[in-house]
Chain A
């Protein structure tokens, strides 16, 4: 048996090893190596001498089955890698193709990712060794694929010249345009002020719901999964947030800017029709463009 300290949950740790072996078969992973890895994870999260009950509860939430496979992979077991490839290869490719919306880019991303999981990290361990069982291996892979796909998109976005950055060309009716723009600018400032005020009154949770639904196009069901609440609760909260924003924006336009009802209606029409007045921009951090005088 092993000499590793196991915080009074020896039986559970051994049981986890046996269960994993029953599922994956023998992967040339010694029980000591498996237990030492689990102990290091427990210590990482709970410190060196955690309470027994705390350690047992922690172990209960940890994906020990998936860890058996990844620890065996990181220990260089060929059988483990074969199992990993058999179970997760097509999953990774499907995830990458779904995230990239271009098959060749997706295939390349998936191929590179699988190769990188084998490759050593800065501690000279395969990348897969950093999996710590606090989510299922499938979810961990989902996040890695999504991260790489997002990085890819970010790179593309940065390499595209933005229209806003192109120099403006003054036409013949330049002066008239400036005058019109000055008037429009006043309305714009009032609308942005109202939206900014309304967004500042939202809680972090309310901003999170709006950004995820409108900014990232998640459905109420998906946001509910993230927040660990029911989808109907997210829908109800969304309606409340809409009402709250409208109420607050009306108050600012009428009290601070002294607009009459008709003018407020016109402002709201403008807000709806003009994508420039995106509340999302105010909810996220890139507030500077709206703060500019």
Chain B
């Protein structure tokens, strides 16, 4: 039954994410989008459920989020003209 609900949720989200979520581990792009809260609510829930199951992905996300407070994003070049 739970598997049925999971499949239903997967069917209702974007085809690009769907492919990733159906496979064993989400790819780098999906995990990065998750870290920036750039996923739909349903996709986020599926990623979180996967993180509970997969030690490797959980470590990746934990390490990436920890690094934010130690290594800030690099600065981009200044704009050369007004846009």
Contact = CB atoms under 8 A, between A and B. Distances in A.
Interface of A: 15, 18-19, 22-25, 44-47, 61, 65, 83, 87-88, 90-91, 94-95, 98-99, 130-132, 134-136, 138-140, 142-147, 149-151, 153-154, 204-205, 207-208, 211-212, 215-218, 222, 225-226, 228, 283-285
B83 interface: yes
A142 B35 contact: yes
A146 B60 contact: yes
9 contacts: A18-B83, A23-B76, A23-B77, A139-B64, A142-B64, A204-B45, A212-B62, A216-B59, A285-B52
Interface string B34-60: 111110000001001101111110111
A121 to B, nearest CB: 12
A147 B30 CA distance: 13
Contacts of B61: 143, 146, 226
Contacts of A87: 74-77
Contacts of A153: 59
Nearest to A131: B29
Interface of A is mostly: helix
A201 B29 CA distance: 33
Interface residues of B, number: 49
B71 A98 contact: yes
Nearest to B71: A94
Contact of B51 (A22, A99, A208, A225): A208
B62 A217 contact: yes
Contacts of B53: 284-285
A281 to B, nearest CB: 11
Contacts of A18: 83
For the complex of A and B, the 10 pairs showing the least CB-CB separation, nearest first, are: A135-B32, A216-B62, A146-B63, A134-B33, A138-B73, A150-B59, A142-B64, A146-B64, A135-B36, A91-B74
B11 to A, nearest CB: 14
Nearest to B51: A208
Given A135-B38, A140-B32, A144-B28, A215 B77 contact: no
Given A131-B29, A142-B67, A143-B35, 20 more contacts: A22-B82, A44-B16, A47-B15, A90-B74, A94-B71, A134-B36, A135-B33, A139-B36, A142-B64, A145-B67, A149-B63, A150-B63, A208-B52, A212-B51, A212-B58, A216-B58, A216-B62, A218-B65, A225-B65, A284-B52
B29 A22 contact: no
Contact of A24 (B36, B75, B77, B81): B77
A95 B71 contact: yes
A154 B29 contact: no
Contact of B52 (A91, A154, A211): A211
A109 to B, nearest CB: 12
Contact of B80 (A23, A47, A143): A23
A130 B59 CA distance: 22
Contacts of A95: 67, 71
B56 A150 contact: yes
A130 B29 contact: yes
B79 interface: yes
Given A142-B67, A211-B52, A285-B52, A135 B29 contact: yes
Nearest to A43: B16
Contacts of A149: 63
Residue among A47, A94, A134, A225 facing the most chain B CB atoms (10 A cut-off): A134
Contact of B38 (A65, A134, A216, A283): A134
